[in-house]
Amino acid sequence: MAAFSCLLLVKSLDRHNNSAWQLGPQRQMQETSKVFSVYNPLDYESVQGPRADYIAPDVAKVSMLYGDNDYYLRAIETHIKHAKRHRYPTYILRKELINGVWNKLLCLMHAMVSELSKGEHAAKWIMWFDADSAVVNPAVPLTVFLPPEEHSDIHFLGSKDQSGFNAGMFFIKVHKWSLELLANAMTYEHHRPDIDLSFLEQTSLYLELNRTENRKHVLYQPRPWFNTYEFHHAYEGEKGDVFVHFPGLEEDRWKHMADWLSILEGPQQKDWEVELHQTKYPARVAEFWEVFGTARKQLEMANERIRGQEPTRQPLREAMDAAERILWSETDQIVAMKEATQRLTKEMSAAGLMVAVEAVT
């Protein structure tokens, strides 16, 4: 019932903001209501239907910002320029509707409902970005991170830092699974008082992602790819990286943001702009999907080959458990995926099972 109530609230917001989808291609981000600012470069008409030449976007971008913090406004403008360049619809929640950071989940649900209502014309994915992030290299399209067709069952791409899952930047597929995930995560604050929500909506979202039935749809990629941190001492990224994110800097955040925005708004920005084919992304992302795909196939094969065989050799069982754990929660560690696959291949061979997937070297 709580999830249903969340959906009703989002539906009411969606009706309130239908006019958002009547923005033309020449009109950039503007206030369409007291609640949302929406930038739509694709000229989708929600009432009359899409234009004949309308092409559904691969990604929509979503964030929230209340008030008039100049640093956040300027940072979001870098995202809007990036969206304009790659034709990504962008939703910005501009008014606090519920308690604090929980607006993030409500905002995502609104965008999800808005996109799902377009049917075949919907964006395929949504990227959430916190307002304390900026686009460093607008030449890179977000599609570079998305799963290839053979992994179409992946619905969520996130990243982790030393504290675990970080909800500052992530991708979530426009899909009914995603809407249910967000609605369930929204209920934790009031309906699960027994759970310690140390990081509030971030914790509730992670708890939902980590449910057994959801894990197969969730994948973690190396955090610096699209959630690149600015630390007190330096930027962890390199030229060609897409984003800079400013978490955990306390009062130093403003100086760091000011320095970066000065670069991104001035002539030095061109020094950081690198075309996709000249960046690290094509090779590293291709390696990631190859390693993940091999590890997944090897584990599937092991499960298939031992079916009906009792008992399973202990070393093989342990290797399978280790591979499963890594595929569930540690895919951002590419070396760990390789090592788990090598170990599993070795134990399958020792158990006399035919191996049809080559070990990753």
What is the C-alpha R_g of the chain? Answer: 22
Better pLDDT: 86 or 96: 86
Q: Is 260 in contact with 133 (CB distance < 8 Å)?
A: no
CA distance 285 to 241: 13
DSSP 250: T
CA distance 33 to 5: 22
| Res 182: pLDDT | 94
For residue 158, the one-letter residue type is: G
Residue 8 has pLDDT above 90, yes or no: no
| Res 34: pLDDT | 52
DSSP 359: P
Residue 300 has pLDDT above 70, yes or no: yes
On the question of a cis peptide bond just before residue 148, with omega within 30 degrees of 0, the verdict is no
How remote is the C-alpha of 85 from its chain's centroid?
20
Which residues contact residue 332 at a Cβ distance below 8 angstroms, ignoring those fewer than 6 apart?
159, 160, 220, 221, 222, 223
Q: Identify any residues that bridge with 43 across adjacent strands, giving them in sequence order.
A: none
Residue 207 has pLDDT above 90, yes or no: no
Considering Cα of 188, then 189, then 194, then 199, what sign does the dihedral take?
A: positive
Q: Identify any residues that bridge with 133 across adjacent strands, giving them in sequence order.
A: 245
> What interhelical angle do 2-16 and 103-116 show, nearest 10?
70
Q: Give the CB-side neighbour count of residue 127, counting CA atoms within 13 A.
A: 26
Q: Convert the pLDDT of each residue in 251-272 to its tens digit.
A: 999 999 999 999 999 999 999 9
Across the range 22-42, mean pLDDT stands at: 49
Both structure tokens of 245: 């994110």
Comparing CA positions, the residue from 26, 198, 208, 20 lying closest to residue 118 is 20
Across the range 339-344, mean pLDDT stands at: 96
CA distance 161 to 139: 26
Please name the residue that has the structure tokens 């170990």.
343
Please name the residue that has the structure tokens 């509030």.
200
| Res 320: pLDDT | 94
Considering Cα of 33, then 176, then 216, then 195, what sign does the dihedral take?
A: positive
304 exposure class (CB count in 10 Å sphere: 0-12, 13-18, 19+): exposed
| Res 48: pLDDT | 52
| Res 133: pLDDT | 98
Comparing CA positions, the residue from 257, 280, 288, 309 lying closest to residue 360 is 288
CA distance 340 to 174: 31
DSSP 202: H
Q: Is 298 in contact with 344 (CB distance < 8 Å)?
A: yes
Both structure tokens of 181: 């995930």
Across the range 113-138, mean pLDDT stands at: 95
Both structure tokens of 306: 């031992």
Across the range 149-170, mean pLDDT stands at: 95
Both structure tokens of 16: 């309130």
pTM for the whole thing?
0.86
| Res 101: pLDDT | 73
Both structure tokens of 95: 């008014």
